[in-house]
Structure 1
Amino acid sequence: MAVEPFLGTRAQRFFIATICIQAIAVLAIISIVFRMVAEHVDLTLTNYRTVPCYLALFVLAELFELLMAFDALRLRNVIQLVGILVFHVALVVFATIQIHETKVALVRTPNCDGTVSFVTCGGKGTLYRKVEHLLIAAPGIIAAAWIVLIFFVRALYYEFGWAVFRIVGANPAMKTMYQFYQVLICLLKFDFFAFTGVTIQLLIVVLSKNSTEFGLTIAAIPVVLVLLIGCGFAVQREVRSLMAFSLVLMLASETYFYKLYRFYDPNSEDQYETTRATLTVFTIVAILLLLTTFGVGLRCFTDFGKGLYESKTSDTLLRPKKIPHSDGEKPDSRGYPLQERLSIE
């Protein structure tokens, strides 16, 4: 059996192309919104930092999704492809929330027109009305791309469906263990994005550079990175001590999200006004992701020493190779023998 080369099939190329086109279109729209708002307001003021934060988060999200897509195709990882679809839905939700967040930031007097105040009013001819249609277009484009991606993920599912069989064989127990390992690695990647998203919002929109909380937030970044990388290394190499330490640290990290209380605390809620909804969603998602990662990590920990080490530490079976074929067997255009594809589903 031959493994299709990286980006060697039409489904793979169109999957990447869809994400790229969607990313370019959305980032272009958000950049236009950023420029239009920047022409009329001082974006360094706390009330207006939502707009640069919106742009920064979407740049991060689109780059992250593109890297995840290339990584999923390289690893023939169907689970990660499904994770990208879920992530894409989250982008739709985030882009929709930003319509409300931007309105909160710009509109101080809802029922007046641009003749009173072009910047702070919410009526016809005001700044918000000029950018509103662009803000609405962003989630629409992302949702349309998601529908297209479903079609290509389905094709890739059948294309990659037997890759696990090639790695771990037909043993159902081995297949289940390997799938839990794939889920954990995928969750660690999404944990990184969720934590980074919360951190960016806190640093850009809310926290003062002179505050203690700003310093603590900065200090937490390398700690979380070490946690995620350490956990990934531990589960791949089956290092029991490092895995145990990572799981304990992961559970302790849940206390970081005490900030969720601060978003609605009467003594501090004013500073979160323009980004409270987005921060709340990001923080809740981060908490749930981390708890899920902890649970899956425990399951993977119990699978150490059960024969999966070689499959997790070597990807040679997923690398395309030209396979010698008999005289009566015709190769395809890439030098592979034409064979019926197996499925383990």
Structure 2
Amino acid sequence: MEADTRRPNTRATWSFVIATAIQAMIVLAIEAYIFAKFQESLIPGIGATPQSKTIPTYLTLFIFGFIYELVLVYDSLRLKNTIQVIGLCMYNVGMLIYASIQYDQIHKVINLLAQPTNGGPVQLKPNTDVWPDIQPYLVAVPCIIAFFTIAMSVIAWKLYDEFAWTIYKHISADLRMKRRYLTFQIYIALLKFDFFFFLGFTVQFLVIVTGLADAEMGLTIAAIPITVLILFMAAFWTRRESKFGMIGTIFLFFCGLAYFIFKLARMYQKSHEQNYLPVRKSLTSFAVITIVLIVVTIVIASMCTANFDKGLKPHIMKRKIGDAEAEKMDNMTELPDLKHGHAPASSRMTID
């Protein structure tokens, strides 16, 4: 039998890191310019309104979103996690949707600040038309993100050659065990993406939305640390294979699902919609994505719970899969090469 002569695809690995870093720098530079031009156009001394907070909030979320993406890129490559790399490409699609919505939302905000309704003060300087200055940049942002999303997807496909035969080598030759481990990986990746979209929704809600009852505002603020704790414990109970902990976690996921459905419905009620208008489209996109993620998370969490006590625990307690460890495990098999429709050549015997 031929020996496996493949080497880690360091070029693809670095290409993925460089692509995400360049995307972050370009988009954040553009957003910073948009923010600066917007701030220059405001009349000094007028108190902040929900409309005037919109662009700073967009910039803040883009900063957090791309920094968080870079952290996840490092985490994915460190763990050689193919599932999370694919998830990052989908995450970039979410950022693309957000950037596309930004164009229409900012246009409406500028019109409201220049010609406010309900007798509010004019907040833009006279004879200042900031829209023509920032419009080309607002068009450029989603185009740039779309380009890098395609580039990241191509590189992620190439990374499969490296990760597919590395990360699964430490799992036994039992194909069912590999599927259980894959389910666990999907679950952990989902928790990481759940965190960003929940926090993105909550930040916009707290900063821009006004006219809320004290109880609702307090509940929204309290939801942030509670959600972080829930997501952390969700991963903890899965690694420890605690059925009791997972049942409680899944119940809390259902509570979170009800919370986001309630918020989504509230935004479109006639008695409350005025409070959400400055940011309703972006809140809707975040709420819908989060609802979909929670539903998928509940399904995968149930599958992980069903896999408890079946021999997976020793494998998932290993947080990093190293090349040295993989080389020592001569009795392990490899994941089939999905790109070519057959298993990669190897000096190891397989029983898949």
TM tier relative to shorter chain: 0.7 to 0.9
Superposition CA RMSD, Å: 3.0
Q: What is the aligned counterpart of 2:131 among 125, 128, 131? A: 128
Q: What is the aligned counterpart of 1:301 among 277, 298, 305? A: 305
How many angstroms does 1:102 deviate by?
0.2
**Distance in 2 (alpha carbons) for counterparts of 1:342 and 1:64:** 39
**Distance in 1 (alpha carbons) for counterparts of 2:347 and 2:237:** 32
TM-score by length of 1: 0.85
Q: Which has the higher contact order (CA 8 A, sep 6+)?
A: 2
Distance 1:342 1:76, change over 3 A: farther
Residues 188 and 228, structure 1, Cα contact 8 Å, conserved in 2: yes
- Structure 2: runs of 5+ lacking an equivalent: 116-121, 329-343
| Number of the residue aligned with 1:22 | 23
What amino acid does structure 2 have at the position aligned with 1:37?
F
Residues 24 and 66, structure 2, Cα contact 8 Å, conserved in 1: yes
| Structure 1 segment 121-270 matched on structure 2, within 5 A | 126-207=129-210, 211-257=214-260, 258-270=262-274
Residues 114 and 124, structure 2, Cα contact 8 Å, conserved in 1: no
How many angstroms does 1:144 deviate by?
1.2
Residues 88 and 146, structure 1, Cα contact 8 Å, conserved in 2: yes
Give a deviation string over 1:39-80, Cα, whole Å, max 9, x none.
Answer: 122682112221011101101110111111111101111111
Distance 1:3 1:318, change over 3 A: farther
Q: How many residues align?
A: 322
Structure 1 position 289 matched with structure 2 position 293 = yes
**Distance in 1 (alpha carbons) for counterparts of 2:61 and 2:313:** 37
Residues 80 and 163, structure 2, Cα contact 8 Å, conserved in 1: yes
**Distance in 2 (alpha carbons) for counterparts of 1:317 and 1:220:** 34
What amino acid does structure 2 have at the position aligned with 1:286?
T
Distance 1:147 1:276, change over 3 A: same
| Number of the residue aligned with 1:333 | none
**Distance in 2 (alpha carbons) for counterparts of 1:291 and 1:301:** 16
How many angstroms does 1:4 deviate by?
6.9
Residues 118 and 126, structure 1, Cα contact 8 Å, conserved in 2: no
**Distance in 1 (alpha carbons) for counterparts of 2:171 and 2:208:** 48
How many angstroms does 1:148 deviate by?
1.6
Question: What SS does the aligned partner of 1:306 have?
Answer: coil
**Distance in 2 (alpha carbons) for counterparts of 1:253 and 1:94:** 22
How many angstroms does 1:323 deviate by?
6.5
**Distance in 2 (alpha carbons) for counterparts of 1:287 and 1:97:** 18
| Number of the residue aligned with 1:330 | none
**Distance in 1 (alpha carbons) for counterparts of 2:41 and 2:214:** 29
Distance 1:234 1:2, change over 3 A: farther
| Number of the residue aligned with 1:71 | 75
**Distance in 2 (alpha carbons) for counterparts of 1:237 and 1:302:** 14
Structure 1 position 61 matched with structure 2 position 65 = yes
Distance 1:322 1:279, change over 3 A: closer
Q: What is the aligned counterpart of 2:52 among 48, 52, 63? A: 48
**Distance in 1 (alpha carbons) for counterparts of 2:86 and 2:180:** 18
| Number of the residue aligned with 1:88 | 92
What fraction of aligned residue pairs are identical, expressed as a percent? 31
**Distance in 2 (alpha carbons) for counterparts of 1:64 and 1:246:** 24
